[in-house]
Copies of this chain bind each other. A is one copy, B any other.
Amino acid sequence: MSGVLAGKVFASCAANGDTLDGMSYKVPFKDIKFSVHNVLDAVNQLQAAGVEIDQDTFDSVLQGYGEFMEQAVAPINLEADLEGAKWADGEVTTPAGYKKAWEEFTEAGWNTIGHDEEFGGGGMPYTLSNAANEASAAASSAWSMYSGLTNGAIKALSSVGSDELKEKFVPKMVSGEWTGTMCLTEPQAGTDLGLLTTKAQPNDDGSYSISGNKIFISAGQHDFTDNIIHLVLARTPGAPEGTRGISLFVVPRNEVADDGSVGENNGVHCDGIEHKMGIHGSPTCQIRFENARGWLVGEENRGLPAMFVMMNHARIGTAMQGLSIADASSQLALDYSRERIQSKAPKSVRGDRPKGSDPIILQPDVRRMLLEQKAWVGGYRMLMHWITLQYDIAHGPNTSEEDRAKAEGFVELLTPIGKGFGTDVAVDVASLGVQIHGGMGYIHETGAELYLRDARILPIYEGTNGVQALDLIGRKIAGDGGERLKSFLALVRDNGSSAPEGFTSYGETLVGYADRLEKSVMESFSQAGENDVRVLAAATPVLRALGYLSFAHFWLLAAKAGLESSDADAEVAAKHVSLAKFFFEWLLPQAEPNFDFALASTDILMDDAAIAY
């Protein structure tokens, strides 16, 4: 806590001897482990699927990664936001401490944990690398993007690239010697990638000359490494119009010789960076490719599916940023509410406290906000752990074809929930964090408003949340006639109908919501023939309904685990049982209106009279 004012405010409220030092983020190891081990029994499920992992390894990697983020990254977050990344003459200088943290991070090998051993990675399951990754964006959302984008680029290259390209680029990206980007957006082509015009002209040697302007390229230029590997969408000559004529290329910023040494600039220029609301430490670059030499990744005109390997990874990463920021915001607000003395609490709550004002955590309305934060964060975490667990199961050598398809379907169905619903939740949670701080929440030195500014990009990038909703209802639900959805709802109903004592009525509510969701979705589909707006208009309400429902599903699982796990930390178990009740009583009813909205009048929605002048 740097500022004079915050010092004064906190000094005035250090009633119980604790001190606050602002943004002292702590990795919630106990909560993470409760979710992974007690709620989801992940290690056993991974082992059954033939994925090599044991609980000790899991916990120790989690611990090491998390401690690194706490100690090396979290402390530089607030100052870095003020300083921001700076552009001059095509070069980008990152904020103080960023490069050093990157060097320490990569030297310790923490960025390698989730990557294949053949490229120098740790070969850990996604469930683990992802669970560990929570600490990264919580420590600094802006800083975490450099590794997040690099990881996505590695995934895309190693899934669809040729052996030669993999060998040339992937090991140095895994080691952190180079970083990666995804170059999709152009000024006229954002959501609508079919409009992009960047050109790829074939050269005689099998490479391509790439020319065009890309915008919104995160970590497109920086001072961490001596090369940056761009994955670029572009069109070859005579390619079909629209998305069917897009190919994916790998384009290093600097030339790479056969021995791997880095040469001259390869015609890749950073023309500027954006002045943004948040993630100031992450340069959002305008990148100009001028006859830059690149190589085709995967097949010609199949660039979009190839890029979607990276995009799906990035969507889960974005969802994780949401969880991370939400938790960090919640921690900060909880600390503050325990320390800040202001007004008297109700008698039944204050008990025999001495005369005078009380910590604001004893105020019911403040408690409501704190618990909303906690209940969102806890549900969000279990959802994300479960998605990545399903990913690992789908890829496990012992998984049957049937189970593989099912697990893959869950990943597909719930990724838009994590990204499209979760990041809206993250913005709300960060906004609550500001509100709990009162006036202190609006000033920079406290840190609460930084979380809100950093969170606000999450519903936008990697496909806006509106696009996530369309992906959900179109590709993911309608795409297989509702099979993935029904398969998930079957899990939910099983869970709801086997609720533990004290939770049976919540279980019934859950089953009821599952039924209503299925009905709303099917009803909207049945109207699609005569009304081509219906399903599009139902997308966001259905996303939200399934979002609430899936959070409630995991909270009910958490309540079971909390009541029944013999090896769980008692305090953590009790916390989860209590928060599960809170979610069902104080949050889940908000799902209700979405069933109405899913079928509300599209004539009214599309009436042009409402938007006259």
Q: Mark A residues whose CB is within 8 Å of B.
A: 3-5, 8-9, 11-13, 30, 82, 185, 187-192, 194-195, 213, 215-216, 272, 274-278, 284, 286, 334, 341-343, 346-349, 357, 361, 363-371, 374, 427, 431, 434-435, 438-439, 441-445, 449, 452-453, 456-457, 459-461, 464-466, 469-470, 531-533, 536-537, 539-540, 571-572, 574-575, 577-579, 581-582, 585-586, 589-590, 592-593, 596-597, 600-602, 604-607, 609-613
Q: Which residue of B lies closest to A538 (CB)?
A: B364
**A473 → chain B, closest Cβ, in Å?**
10
Chain B nearest CB from A476 CB (Å) reads 16
Residues of B within 8 A of A604 (CB): 578, 581-582, 585-586
CB–CB A438/B460 < 8 A:
yes
Given A593-B592, A610-B578: A456 touches B431 (CB 8 Å cut-off) = yes
Contacts of A453 in B (CB 8 A): 277, 453
30 contacts between A and B (CB under 8 A): A5-B274, A8-B187, A12-B188, A191-B438, A195-B357, A216-B439, A274-B443, A275-B444, A276-B449, A277-B453, A334-B611, A348-B531, A361-B611, A364-B602, A365-B466, A365-B537, A368-B540, A371-B605, A434-B456, A435-B460, A435-B464, A438-B460, A438-B464, A453-B453, A572-B612, A578-B609, A582-B604, A582-B610, A586-B604, A592-B593
A531 contact set on B, CB distance < 8 A: 348
Query: Cα distance A438–B456 when bound, in Å?
Result: 11
Contact partner, A610, options B431, B465, B470, B579, Cβ 8 Å: B579
> A188 and B364: CB pair below 8 A?
no
Q: Are B368 and A537 in contact (CB under 8 A)?
A: yes
Copies in the complex: 2
- In the complex, the answer to whether B600 meets A586 with C-beta atoms within 8 Å is yes
A370 CB, nearest partner CB in chain B, Å: 6
Distance of A116 Cα from B348 Cα, bound (Å)? 49
Contacts of A457 in B (CB 8 A): 442
Minimal beta-carbon separation of A377 from chain B (angstroms): 12
Known: A276-B444, A609-B577. A593 touches B582 (CB 8 A): no
